[in-house]
Amino acid sequence: MPLDIKICGLKTEDALAAALAGGASHVGFIFFPKSPRNIEPAEAGRVREAARGRATAVAVTVDADDAALDAIVAAMSPDMLQLHGKETPERVAYVKARYGLPVMKAFSVREAGDLEPIALYRGVADRFLLDAKPPAGSELPGGNGVPFDWQLLAGIDAGVDYLLSGGLNAANIGEALRLTNPPGIDISSGVESAPGVKDAALIDDFFRAVRTAQARSVA
């Protein structure tokens, strides 16, 4: 299976173009006002157009209510919803049915026990995103640029379809792929020159590092 690669926190057409040029399978848009990557739904609808038919456009939300999700879905017609808060399995099932869209449920990981709740969401969420727990004092549930201990994924059930996330960058992605061999990866701050500012050269570097690591693993 080809590795899925999600570039998240896109706000501009240039950043989206760099992600698509590198071969992103997924592009993410953040709807969380406290984030430096927050984007208004109408703007996301405009920017995401270039991704149509080329990459899965993911709307990232945090414990959003129906009214907020209605507005996002109407304005940008995402291909997938990422629920990055404390949404219960019942809420995930409801959101999936209400919008008829695949749902990716995010989990914050610091220790082995943090992976146990995934069992409650299997058969409900379509995919999982495994991110690091936010550092103390952070107001962001994701996008903090910190990795978790990838060794924790050594025993993960092969049937769990997940994207590895949290603090990935061009320098560490080779080791992350070697240790976890995930179905997909997700990056945001590791391809930014400043919080919320995507850098086309860093996006390019990241894709190059991924391809180098993949070539090494088959050699």
Ligand X SMILES: O=C(O)c1ccccc1N[C@@H]1O[C@H](COP(=O)(O)O)[C@@H](O)[C@H]1O
Q: Which residues are catalytic, by number? A: 8, 131
How far apart are the C-alpha atoms of 2 and 54, rounded to whole Å? 15
Tokens of 118: 């995934």
β-sheet bridge partners, residue 162: 128
Residue of the chain from 11, 37, 127, 198 that contacts ligand X (CB under 6 A): 37
87 binds ligand X (CB under 6 A): no
Q: How far is the CB of 219 from ligand X (least distance, A)?
A: 28
108 binds ligand X (CB under 6 A): no
Q: Of 76, 22, 73, nearest to 185 (Cα)?
A: 22
Inter-axis angle of helices 200-218 and 13-22, nearest 10: 10
Number of residues counted as binding ligand X (CB under 6 A): 26
- Footprint of ligand X on residues 121-180 (CB under 6 A)? 131, 140-145, 165-168
Residue of the chain from 16, 60, 153, 176 that contacts ligand X (CB under 6 A): 60
Q: How far is the CB of 196 from ligand X (least distance, A)?
A: 8
- Footprint of ligand X on residues 181-200 (CB under 6 A)? 186-190
28 binds ligand X (CB under 6 A): yes
Q: Which stretch binds ligand X (CB under 6 A): 27-35, 49-57, 148-156, 202-210?
A: 27-35
- Per CB under 6 A, residues contacting ligand X are 8-9, 28, 30, 32, 35, 37, 60, 62, 84, 131, 140-145, 165-168, 186-190
